[in-house]
A and B are shown apart, each in its own frame.
Chain A
């Protein structure tokens, strides 16, 4: 489903250049849970941004569901993000002015249109039926992240991308998030790429990719 070929990403840093990814080759299959681990500055988030079509590689090719997407325009990339990608962020990235329901509906706004019934179902599936009209500030961190998962889930994306989804949560809330993600996989066979430091999450995945200085140093199957 995902095929990265010799992906290199170079950022201009004033006069010098900073190479963040060096020749990454990676295949991810439909329904696979993949964890990306590595020290800070190893290029994990950059890799995730590329896979999520938020950015394009300097060199190399990226095939998403068989389509070469690394040379698309920003508008076409936005279209792919809207239709196929569900993001889950470390800092949740909910809109504080909107209720949980409105935040979930926002996930559908750019993916073909709002369907309130589906949004309520998505919130129910992450156990937030009682929190539909609460604003983020009235929710715990774990609940906010569940809203964010519902927001990604509601448009039925081909690919879930999570960047340190438990990074700001206590271990109990983190457990809940992990169990929601794993049960989503069990029920809906989702494809998930998760960047994490959390060994607990990694151990629930099928495969762990170790990244260091922009290169894949090891891959292990769990």
Chain B
């Protein structure tokens, strides 16, 4: 115990004699650890954000779009690029597939919108009233269009929050009119903002009854005379049955589309769950990448520690000689210098965690990005910095311990 206390005293004296040098050495580790913490927290934060968005959209949603998949669960072309899905497919799914609560076919068209003197192009989605419940949409003011509106082909629209803000700039859009291609629609509702990006936000959408859309965009029909839609979204009653539902829909659509066993699907089914896991995987990779970049900074800091420790050993050769003459064994000298290096990186690691935490906190409250600092990152960063101290301190300490006492005493 006493031996350890005096060892710690020796380490403290060694480091505190060159305060500026010790601090600068530590700074390398501080910057490294702080960037690991900050970057990983951004990565973790965006993962959490993405998952939250997906949860808010409903994890039980399945989307079917026309056109073949480019690979199992992989990227697909823009929805509706192939005109294979029809209204009749949607009706068949609603009638024949079990565990499905609501089915909403939809078609999108890029239309010119005019409100007073405002003029813009936007993607307009024509769909059925079920779309709202399938996609978990919430109304901020007014109401979503009704089954009656749909049946009658009423010219009404529901706006995403961003669209409402852009077109009406703070005035209440409900009851106002928008010229949309060749028709004029009345706004009946505005959706609650739900944030989130990744090109799938309902905040940027405009929904009108599919029957209204067909009054300005001609309805295409398949060779069998069925009414083409660009996608079908549906909600599964029980998330655990998602796979079964996908299977059932696949066989139903294949038989409806009269595909032979050799032919590939002419539609693509994706579930939110699947999307969530893909996105989570992607952002996990991103987090790792950010961590790896930060780890390079940490590595450079470690090399700095090694550099300083080598200089320190050289400069204190005589001290090492004195200690050896007084009876210090190789392991005493070795432990002393290794502890010095490790203390530098450990203290640097702790300070770095605090700095990184503060940085990620400010990134978060300034609204730049969502950040999440988790215990595992903190523990990882501190133990890696201690590991760096041990690793990069090993060689200088070994050098010190191997010095010949007679020669060390003779050095200036």
- Interfacial residues, chain A to chain B (CB-CB below 8 A): 49, 52, 54-55, 74-75, 78-83, 85, 87, 89, 93-95, 97-98, 102, 105-107, 109-111, 113-114, 151
Q: Are B326 and A97 in contact (CB under 8 A)?
A: no
The interface residues of chain A lying within 8 Å CB-to-CB of B319 are 95
The interface residues of chain A lying within 8 Å CB-to-CB of B330 are 74-75, 78
**Contacts known (A93-B322, A95-B322, A97-B17); A110 close to B409, Cβ less than 8 A:** no
**Is B300 part of the binding interface, using a Cβ–Cβ cutoff of 8 Å?**
no
**Is B260 part of the binding interface, using a Cβ–Cβ cutoff of 8 Å?**
no
Q: Are A110 and B406 in contact (CB under 8 A)?
A: no
**Contacts known (A49-B406, A93-B409); A110 close to B13, Cβ less than 8 A:** no
**Is B117 part of the binding interface, using a Cβ–Cβ cutoff of 8 Å?**
no
**Is B44 part of the binding interface, using a Cβ–Cβ cutoff of 8 Å?**
no
Query: In this complex, what residue of A is CB-closest to B7?
Result: A109
Q: How large is the interface on B (under 10, 10 to 19, 20 to 34, 35 or more residues)?
A: 20 to 34
A113 to B13, CA, bound (A): 18
Q: Are B2 and A106 in contact (CB under 8 A)?
A: no
**Is B323 part of the binding interface, using a Cβ–Cβ cutoff of 8 Å?**
yes
- The residue from A75, A97, A114 contacting B6, defined by CB atoms under 8 A apart: A114
Q: Are B326 and A87 in contact (CB under 8 A)?
A: yes
State the Cβ distance, A116 to closest chain B Cβ, in Å. Answer: 11
Within 8 A of A (CB), among B283-329: 318-319, 321-329
Q: Are A78 and B6 in contact (CB under 8 A)?
A: no
Inter-chain pairs besides A75-B330, A79-B329, A111-B326, 8 sampled, C-beta below 8 Å? A78-B327, A78-B328, A78-B330, A82-B327, A85-B327, A87-B325, A93-B325, A110-B327
State the Cβ distance, B237 to closest chain A Cβ, in Å. Answer: 75
**Is B405 part of the binding interface, using a Cβ–Cβ cutoff of 8 Å?**
yes
The interface residues of chain B lying within 8 Å CB-to-CB of A111 are 326-327
The interface residues of chain A lying within 8 Å CB-to-CB of B318 are 93
Q: Are A54 and B322 in contact (CB under 8 A)?
A: no
The interface residues of chain B lying within 8 Å CB-to-CB of A55 are 406
Within 8 A of A (CB), among B330-356: 330-332
